[in-house]
Structure 1
Amino acid sequence: MLKNIMKAGVLALITVIAAGCASGDSNSKLTRDVYLRGVFTWWDADPQFKLQPVEGKENVWFATSAADEPLIADGQPYEWKFGDAAWQCGTNFGFLSGEADIKLGERRQSNKCSAFDNFKFTPEEDGVYRFFLDWTEELPVVYIEKVEM
């Protein structure tokens, strides 16, 4: 009996250690790969749009729109959100409340279990943009900055 309990304990410890190693950053609130997904990414979970950590900031990530296809300032909004490959609750970030439109530099709270609540961004000038997810507080926040080239 004691031998079986010890085996179960060892197995549980190995599972916990393996899970910690798999996540990479044990302090990260993201437990799965998350991507910038929108009309300009064909809503795909494309590796080039996978969120990357912001250096020196815990629980802040970014992805950049494609440099070879800048967002065009034609007055039409681009719909987008952050989501994992399967759109799972907990890593499916759309707008929380109010207007879907988000302006450059504006910080907006996000719903991490969003179904269809896509953000809308209408660039004022053509360019490449960086999309951020800041989850340093209880509610995740998103914002956009223009990449100066």
Structure 2
Amino acid sequence: MKTKLSLVLATLFLGACSSSVTLDDIVPVEEVQKPLYLRGDFSLWDAQPEYQMEKVAPAIYETKIKLSTPGKAYEFKIADADWSENYNCGYLDEGLDKQLEIGLPVQADCNSVYNYFSFTPAEEGWYKVSINFSRFSKPLVTINQVFE
């Protein structure tokens, strides 16, 4: 009995010392309430069905796009059909978040007006754009090349 009590106390003590849990980690994820679209110069900024973001995991949405002009800077945002408040996502900080690079997440501001993301593909191909709302007030946007 004494051994079990010691083990429980040691576990609680070590857990409290090494824990890095924050309030953001235990607050339930806020759900996206509207369909989102990848909107940009490739879609004439319209909310087109082929660019609708699909939920692939809790708080994570993605879509694919074929980019056919290597070296061209594609501009885009992630937004609902009406460019609504909280659903109009562009870059948060121009110096840090505007230019996307393969596999590197950047922060989004979903109350932006003209803050378009920019991506310049090195080669023609399919790309997956995703947005992660795990922290709803500071979502992350990522682009990756898809090999099919």
Range of TM-score over shorter length: 0.7 to 0.9
Report the 3-state secondary structure (helix = DSSP H, G, I; strand = E; otherwise coil) of the residue aligned with 2:67: coil
Structure 2: 5+ residue stretches without partners: 1-28
Residue identity opposite 1:34 in structure 2: L
Specify the alignment match of 1:20 in structure 2: none
- Structure 1 ranges of 4+ moved more than 4 A: none
Structure 2 residue 106 is the aligned partner of structure 1 residue 108: yes
Amino acid at match of 2:76: W
The size of the alignment, in residue pairs, is: 118
CA shift in 2, pair 1:74/1:125, >3 Å: closer
Supply the distance in 2 between the matched residues of 1:73 and 1:46 (Cα, whole angstroms): 20
- The structure having more radius of gyration, on CA atoms, is 2
Paired with 2:145 and 2:32, the residues of 1 have a C-alpha distance of: 24
For the residues of structure 1 that align with 2:119 and 2:72, how far apart are their CA atoms?
Answer: 8
CA RMSD of superposed structures (Å):
1.6
| Equivalent in the alignment of 2:91 | 95
> Which letter maps to 2:139?
P
Q: Spell out the pairing of 1:97-136 with structure 2 (5 A cutoff).
A: 97-99=93-95, 100-136=98-134
> Following the alignment from structure 2 to structure 1, what is the Cα–Cα distance between the partners of residues 69 and 48?
23
Separation (CA, whole Å) in 2 of partners of 1:76 and 1:45? 22
Q: TM-score, normalised by structure 2?
A: 0.75
Amino acid at match of 2:62: F
Deviation at 1:132, TM superposition (A): 0.1
Aligned to 2:140: 141
Residues 95 and 117 of structure 1 are in contact (CA less than 8 Å); yes or no, is this contact kept in structure 2?
Answer: yes
Specify every segment of 5 or more residues in structure 1 that has no aligned partner in the other structure, as ranges. 1-26
On the 8 A contact 1:110/1:141 being kept in 2, the answer is yes
**Partner amino acid, structure 2, of 1:62:** E
Q: Alpha-carbon deviations, 1:127-148, whole Å to 9, x = none?
A: 0111001011241000001111
Deviation at 1:40, TM superposition (A): 1.1
Higher strand share: 2
